[in-house]
Amino acid sequence: MAFVPFDFKRTIPDHSWRGILIIVVLLTAGPTIAWELYARSARYRPTLNDTSDLWAQARERVKPDSIVIIGDSRALFDMDLAVLEQGLGSRPVQLALAGSCAYPVLADLAADEKFRGTVICGIVPRMFFAPGGPLVEASEKALKRYRSWTPAQRVSHQLGMLAEERFAFLKERDLTLARLLEKLPIPNRTALSPPRIPPPYFQTTERDRRTRMVEECVRPGALQTRIKEGWLPLFTPPPPPSYVPKEKFLAGVGKAIEARFGDTAAAVEKIRARGGKVVFVRFPMTGKLKELEDQATPRAGPWTRLLKDTGAPGIYFEDYPELAGFDCPEWSHLSGPDSVEFTRRLVPYLKTALAGKESVK
């Protein structure tokens, strides 16, 4: 069958395309500018979101002999990378993650046969020994992104950073539609626990993941109060599920925690066998949050056993007057200036611990 050509002519409507372009630009730019002005009026400022992409980028910077910081948000907020670089001789790679369990990252470094560097691991016992759930999932999500990072995701991340450094409204933790819907004032049903709401975005984040608390949170006010009121529900474990006998549930949790002690000791030994070093750090906390943590996880419990089982040195802030005198404005993290001073005072103890001396325990 022969091909029969046919004439096709696309008719372009006779419109003022320049005018249409101007209207589209105005319709797009107007709401964007309004949203940006609103975000800035609410005290948001341009800064990077601490995404899995930013973490993956940092993980790629780990070299065989790197100094690596892992842990939760206290290790993220309270360590100044420039001061550590000056004191320890090289700039650490910041791999601590807010709202996470550090163990999956420690295990990843232990499994990396090329890594023989130094690990500074922040410890909040209830977070580090979490048997599963959102804390573990946060670390696993970051590791998954690092292991499967595609070229398209890399390019998107680079373009995203350019925008985030210039626009205040690009805050995925607070200013997305899903997050805003979560803030609707819907009363809790009776017999239900208070909602476990993560804190709002109260930090600035740089490309090397150096993180600082914003000044508004340092000063007493609505933001600081909101964050304080959120910590106690977050640090209080939810009740056991009703469909599992309490004794059976607690036995399962205890078994998982025992396994975490053993797995951590094995990971530390793997790093040590390659010539690497691990030091654990307990960072400052204050106020009612400190009272809760001291009661739930006293020093003589998980911390002491962790050091015994791993044979690694540990620095507990309360052991040293120069480290114990800091105040956490919202009970859990140091302000930007205090994080610099705290790190400066911490460096000599890190050197002692990494040298294998007995004065740090």
CA dist 271 → 116, 234, 338 (Å): 6, 32, 31
**pTM recorded for the entire structure:** 0.89
Tens of pLDDT, residue by residue over 169-212, are 999 888 887 777 777 776 666 555 556 677 888 999 999 999 99
- Is there a domain that residue 286 lies in? yes
Q: Is 27 helix (H, G, I), strand (E, B) or coil?
A: helix
Mean pLDDT to the nearest integer, 204-227: 94
∠ CA 277-53-174, rounded to 5°: 110
- Is there a domain that residue 199 lies in? no
- Is there a domain that residue 239 lies in? yes
pLDDT at 6 over 80: no
Strand 93-94: give its sheet, edge to edge: 93-94, 67-70, 118-122, 277-282, 314-316
- Is there a domain that residue 145 lies in? yes
Q: Which of 28-37, 312-321, 344-353 has the lowest mean pLDDT?
A: 28-37
Q: Which of 38-42, 152-156, 258-262, 269-273 has the lowest mean pLDDT?
A: 38-42
CA dist 277 → 14, 255, 271, 274 (Å): 72, 28, 7, 9
pLDDT at 122 over 60: yes
pLDDT score for 358? 46
User: Would you list the DSSP string of 267-334?
Assistant: HHHHHHHTT-EEEEEE----HHHHHHHHHHS-TTTHHHHHHHHH---EEEGGGSHHHHT---TTSSS-
- Is there a domain that residue 30 lies in? no
pLDDT score for 58? 98
- Is there a domain that residue 33 lies in? no
pLDDT score for 124? 96
Residue 16 backbone phi and psi in degrees, to 5 = -85, 90
pLDDT at 291 over 50: yes
pLDDT band at residue 248, thresholds of 50, 70 and 90? confident
pLDDT score for 338? 98
| All residues at 6 or more sequence positions from 40 whose CB lies less than 8 Å from its CB, including other chains | 168
Containing structural domain, residue 147 = 41-177+204-354
- Is there a domain that residue 361 lies in? no
Specify the CATH number for the domain of residue 86: 3.40.50
Mean pLDDT to the nearest integer, 211-240: 90
CB atoms closer than 10 angstroms to residue 242? 7
The number of distinct structural domains making up the chain is 1
Tens of pLDDT, residue by residue over 60-119, are 999 999 999 999 999 999 999 999 999 999 999 999 999 999 999 999 999 999 999 999
* C-alpha to C-alpha distance for 317 and 72, rounded to whole angstroms: 16
Tokens of 310: 């791993």
pLDDT score for 330? 96
On whether the CB atoms of residues 69 and 79 are closer than 8 A, the answer is yes
* C-alpha to C-alpha distance for 18 and 21, rounded to whole angstroms: 5
- Is there a domain that residue 304 lies in? yes
Q: Are strands 277-282 and 314-316 parallel, antiparallel or unpaired?
A: parallel
Q: H or E element: which one contains 189?
A: none
